[in-house]
Every structure is written in C-alpha cells, then in structure tokens.
C-alpha cells in the first residue's frame, strides 16, 4: 500500500469543467455524458444504470465481495411552479436550500426548446420603490421570483417563449480559484467530491498498483432529493465509502483543510469498523484529519441502507464553508481526501467475514 501522488492540476481542471455543466437533480444527463467521456479517457470501464447513474469499476485481485466509493453529480436548483401575470416565474426549490441564497442569483431556465437567462429576485427588489421594505420582507421561496432577460409583461408572453410548469432552473456556480488555494463556487457539494473520486482513481491507474478487491466508482444523480445510492450498487458490494461535504461552522469540528471523517449524521452512526479503519489510514500515512457529527445532514450512505443493501458504510468529507449557499473549500483538502480514497482502494477488506 502506497501513499500515491495526486494530480492537483487534473483535479482542479476537472472540477471547473464539471461546474460549467448545469446538473440540478432530475436534469443530470449532460453532466453524466461528460463523465462518461472522462472515464473513457482514463481507461475506466463503466455502465449506466436504468435511471442514468454511473457505475464504473477498478478491477482488483478478487471481484466478489468487493467495495464501492460514491459521490453525487446532481446539485441544488429550482423548477417553475407557476407562470405569473406580471411576466415573472414562481419557483420551488430542487433539494433543500434556503431562498436567502437564491436572492440575486443569476441562473438559466432550461425549456424544451432552449435556454433563457435570468435572475432570482425578492418580490420587493427595488430599493428606490420599497426602501426599508426590501430588508423587512420575509425570506422564503414564496417571496422570490424569476425575472427573465426577455420581454415578458404577462403570462401569455411567457407561454409564447415555450415556458412550462416544471421547467428546471440551473443556478450559476460562479467559480473562482484564488492564489491562496481556495475554491469558491456553488455546487461544490458534490462536484468537488466527484472530481476528487476521479483524481484518486487516476492516481491508482497512473501508479499501476494492484487493488485487493474490485472497487466500484458510483456517481449518483439524485442525492439532493434523498434517493441517491438507493439504486446502482452491485449486490456483491460489502462496504461503501461516500464522499461529500463537511460543514465548518460554529459548533462543528469540520475544517476546510485536511479530511473530515464523519462519525454520524441525522440517520445515526456510520459503521464503526470501517470508519476506524479509515482513521487508521490517516494516522499511518500522516494525513491531517478531524472527526465530526452532523445533525441536519444525510448522504448517499443513508439512501443505500434504507434501500435494503446489506453493507458497511462510512462518510469522508471535504470541509465546505456556507454549505448549500455560496460555498468554499480548499484545494489542499481535496488533495488530502483523494490521497485517503486512493489508500482505501489499496487497503485490505475491512472485515474477515468476506
């Protein structure tokens, strides 16, 4: 087992390319096609599930029982709820996120015939008209609307543009990579996780190491709406590690640096033997890490267990400040996490009962 070097240029470039592709949950086909091309370029075999998730494979000495590492490519977003008589659109969120972070967001409405740019605004958005009422109006999805950059004075104008109830709205990520190594963008949850997963796989392939068991790379498409890894796992998978964001915030132990290892989320504790084996790898190879527990959080691990999969699960995180908002992490955290994932892929199976 070797601590493999991570190609951080590849990781950063892949993340930025992935962020440029809108993929709110329910509308992930373009991002999945991009990842299919990326996997082909890396020489990694894969298949698509019926629902459109990706199930790739790094072969090992033994093919069953084996393990999986999962990340999700779907993101938060919105959908058209109603075409309003003022020529604007009422929205409902895709996934669980506050309208506070939607206010002022530039976005793209994806209709059946094309794409239309716009901005999500509070109902009272003119400072020169509403004065202090701009600050005192409630916060919530009922109090925002989508202003399109088209000439729309009424609902008939919206219908003439081919807009329908249910059309998806993709929020601009607005990514920025600073000279100090910070990555600031919406949708780091969990496109940074997908980029990290592929960077770890690339490190394994570049080094030519032999894995002890097959390792499936699963990219799910509906984590933000709760179903995620409920489908897509081979029945010979005995353990699964999820990659997702941690939550640096008051009262939490997550960090934007190093690896954050989750001990539990709102669904309960993660498998202790698998989790402690990951902590052991951090200690053995000197990886900076911390542990945390999340009260208002669930991930692909929960979806897999609730679907009846008889597997051990663990959660590895990169710390994201302002999660489900204007997110930020650090490139070094993604690199450290990729190192740990590559070590996990090389490590012996967690349980002798295999």
Q: pLDDT tens for residues 274-283?
A: 999 999 999 9
**Cα–Cα distance, 69 to 345 (Å, whole number):** 9
pLDDT tens profile 315-331: 999 999 999 999 999 99
User: Which residue numbers belong to the known binding site?
Assistant: 72, 189, 224
pLDDT level of residue 350 (50, 70, 90 thresholds): confident
For each of the domains in the chain, give its residue range(s) and CATH number, in order of start. 8-75+187-346 (3.40.630.10), 78-171 (2.40.30.40)
Is 149:117 a contact under the CB 8 Å cutoff?
A: yes
223 annotated active-site: yes
pLDDT tens profile 220-253: 999 999 999 999 898 999 999 999 999 999 999 9
Torsion angles phi and psi, residue 61, rounded to 5: -65, -30
**Cα–Cα distance, 162 to 154 (Å, whole number):** 13
In the predicted structure, residue 17 carries a pLDDT above the cut 90: yes
Burial class of residue 130 in the structure, from the number of CB atoms within 10 Å of its CB (0-12 exposed, 13-18 middle, 19+ buried): middle
In 3D space, the residue among 8, 69, 300, 23 whose CA is nearest the CA of residue 186 turns out to be: 23
User: Which residue numbers belong to the known binding site for Zn(2+)?
Assistant: 72, 189, 224
The single residue of 179, 210, 223, 327 carrying the catalytic annotation is 223
Is 76:97 a contact under the CB 8 Å cutoff?
A: yes
In the predicted structure, residue 354 carries a pLDDT above the cut 50: no
Burial class of residue 179 in the structure, from the number of CB atoms within 10 Å of its CB (0-12 exposed, 13-18 middle, 19+ buried): exposed
3-class secondary structure, 124: coil
pTM, two decimals, is 0.97
**Cα–Cα distance, 118 to 116 (Å, whole number):** 7
Please report how many Cα atoms fall inside a 13 Å half-sphere around the Cα of residue 274, on the Cβ side: 25
Q: What is the mean pLDDT of the chain?
A: 97
Q: Which helix (H) or strand (E) holds 158?
A: helix 155-160
Is 185:173 a contact under the CB 8 Å cutoff?
A: yes
pLDDT tens profile 150-202: 999 999 999 999 999 999 999 999 999 999 999 999 999 999 999 999 999 99
| Cα distances (Å, whole numbers) of residue 31 to 2, 52, 89 | 32, 11, 26
Crossing angle of helices 188-207 and 331-346, rounded to 10°: 50
Is 221:53 a contact under the CB 8 Å cutoff?
A: yes
3-class secondary structure, 101: helix
Q: Name residue, tokens 């959660």.
A: 315
Over range 36-64, report the average pLDDT.
97
Please report how many Cα atoms fall inside a 13 Å half-sphere around the Cα of residue 266, on the Cβ side: 8
Instruction: Quote the pLDDT of residue 351.
Output: 72
In the predicted structure, residue 353 carries a pLDDT above the cut 90: no
């Amino acid at each position: 087992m070797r601590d493999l070097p991570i190609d951080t240029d590849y990781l950063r470039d892949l993340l930025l390319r992935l962020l440029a592709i809108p993929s709110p949950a329910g509308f992930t086909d373009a991002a999945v096609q991009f990842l299919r091309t990326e996997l082909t370029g890396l020489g990694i075999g894969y298949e698509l599930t019926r629902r459109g998730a990706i199930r790739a494979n790094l072969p090992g000495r033994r093919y069953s029982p084996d393990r999986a590492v999962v990340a999700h490519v779907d993101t938060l977003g919105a959908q058209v709820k109603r075409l309003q008589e003022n020529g604007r659109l009422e929205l409902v969120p895709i996934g669980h996120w506050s309208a506070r972070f939607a206010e002022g967001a530039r976005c793209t409405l994806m209709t059946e015939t094309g794409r239309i740019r716009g901005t999500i605004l509070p109902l009272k958005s003119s400072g020169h008209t509403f004065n202090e009422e701009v600050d005192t109006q409630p916060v919530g999805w009922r109090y925002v609307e989508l202003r399109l950059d088209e000439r729309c004075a009424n609902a008939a104008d919206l219908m003439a543009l081919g807009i329908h109830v249910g059309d998806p709205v993709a929020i601009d990520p607005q990514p920025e990579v600073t000279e100090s190594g910070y990555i600031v963008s919406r949708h780091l949850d969990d496109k940074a996780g997908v980029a990290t997963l592929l960077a770890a796989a690339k490190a394994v392939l570049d080094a030519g190491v032999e894995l002890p068991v097959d390792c499936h790379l699963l990219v799910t498409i509906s984590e933000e709406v709760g179903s995620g890894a409920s489908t897509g796992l081979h029945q010979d998978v005995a353990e699964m590690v999820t990659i997702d964001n941690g939550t640096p915030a008051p009262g939490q132990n997550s960090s934007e640096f190093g690896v954050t290892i989750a001990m539990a989320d709102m669904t309960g504790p993660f498998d202790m033997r698998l989790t402690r084996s990951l902590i052991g790898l951090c200690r053995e190879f000197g990886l900076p890490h911390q542990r945390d527990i999340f009260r208002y959080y669930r991930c692909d691990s929960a979806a897999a267990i609730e679907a009846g999969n008889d597997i051990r699960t663990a959660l590895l995180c990169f710390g994201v400040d302002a999660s489900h908002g204007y997110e930020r992490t650090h490139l070094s955290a993604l690199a450290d996490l990729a190192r740990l994932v590559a070590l996990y892929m090389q490590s012996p199976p967690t349980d002798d009962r295999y």
